[in-house]
Structure 1
């Protein structure tokens, strides 16, 4: 009897934890509902300026607030991704999620960071793109499969951005 009650208490605690996480995620999305819609993907894109960069889309946060994840507009979930740089902007194609298009006029800069959205990987382990959605400045993080590509990507983005 005691063992059964202990197991039931543990299961109840686990369920409460999951319910709390779900409610927190949902409430965060509601608080961020005033963010404008994401830019739509152009009907036609120019040829990519660099070979696609494959890796992991880490997430998007409010600028310079590396733990304040944005969950609205589908920006909150990590996913395998491929990034291409076009004359029109950056295209982030994510597995299991809608693509994110960042028009070049909204991209402010790119840099290397050790952490974003709760993911800490060490010095220069993430490429972070600083961009504007309406009046809100955001940071989007990517962890490339091949980190040796970071310098050319950061340089190419910063040359085309409003740096």
Structure 2
């Protein structure tokens, strides 16, 4: 009897994993029309990692939560690895915003793509409560995205939100 219950439990777990994989695969298919995200310029990435970049604000360490479409704060982008959470350091530069992620590709948001910045209670993959995340609204082509970042020091948001909004030229 115990062997049967163990086998049923394993089958249920394998079935659940298969359903999650199937759902994520279908999400990728639904989002196939999304444009490719901009890549961080190699020379800028080298300067940031060497500590010689001209950051407008001190870098902020924390967790890159995810990037979602403007349709919903739960509509995680499945293209590449931008939908996956990782430790990161956020850099605000005159040319844009760089989320230098540990174990994943950096996420680069050019300054001309930034539409707005705000704090939010959550985004797909991370719910923190009131003002727990820094969220950058940005555009690639005709599509808008929100990228969430949870800073280790929440006081950073008081300087980051206005500084990010200044990248928009006051259009936010």
Coarse TM-score class (shorter-chain normalised): over 0.9
Deviation at 1:43, TM superposition (A): 4.4
Aligned position for 1:16: 15
After TM superposition, list the pairs within 5 Å mapping 1:67-146 onto structure 2.
67-146=74-153
- Say whether the 8 Å CA contact 2:113–2:138 is kept in structure 1: yes
Range with greater deviation from structure 2 (23-32 or 44-53):
44-53
Aligned position for 2:33: 34
Partner residue of 1:56 out of 50, 63, 75 = 63
How many pairs does the alignment contain?
A: 162
- Say whether the 8 Å CA contact 1:38–1:73 is kept in structure 2: no
Q: TM-score, normalised by structure 1?
A: 0.94
| Distance in 2 (alpha carbons) for counterparts of 1:5 and 1:43 | 56
| Distance in 2 (alpha carbons) for counterparts of 1:130 and 1:150 | 15
| Distance in 1 (alpha carbons) for counterparts of 2:167 and 2:87 | 25
- Say whether the 8 Å CA contact 2:65–2:125 is kept in structure 1: no
Residue 148 of structure 1 aligns to a residue whose secondary structure is helix
Deviation at 1:42, TM superposition (A): 2.5
Deviation at 1:119, TM superposition (A): 2.2
| Distance in 1 (alpha carbons) for counterparts of 2:147 and 2:154 | 16
Deviation at 1:134, TM superposition (A): 1.4
| Distance in 2 (alpha carbons) for counterparts of 1:88 and 1:145 | 24
Query: For residues 128 and 158 of structure 1, do their structure 2 counterparts lie closer, same or farther at Cα, with a shift above 3 Å needed?
Result: same
List alignment gaps of at least 5 residues for structure 2: 45-52
Residue 80 of structure 2 aligns to a residue whose secondary structure is helix
Alignment RMSD: 1.3
- Listed one character per residue, the Cα deviations across residues 67-86 of structure 1 (whole Å, up to 9, x for unaligned) are 11111132110000111011
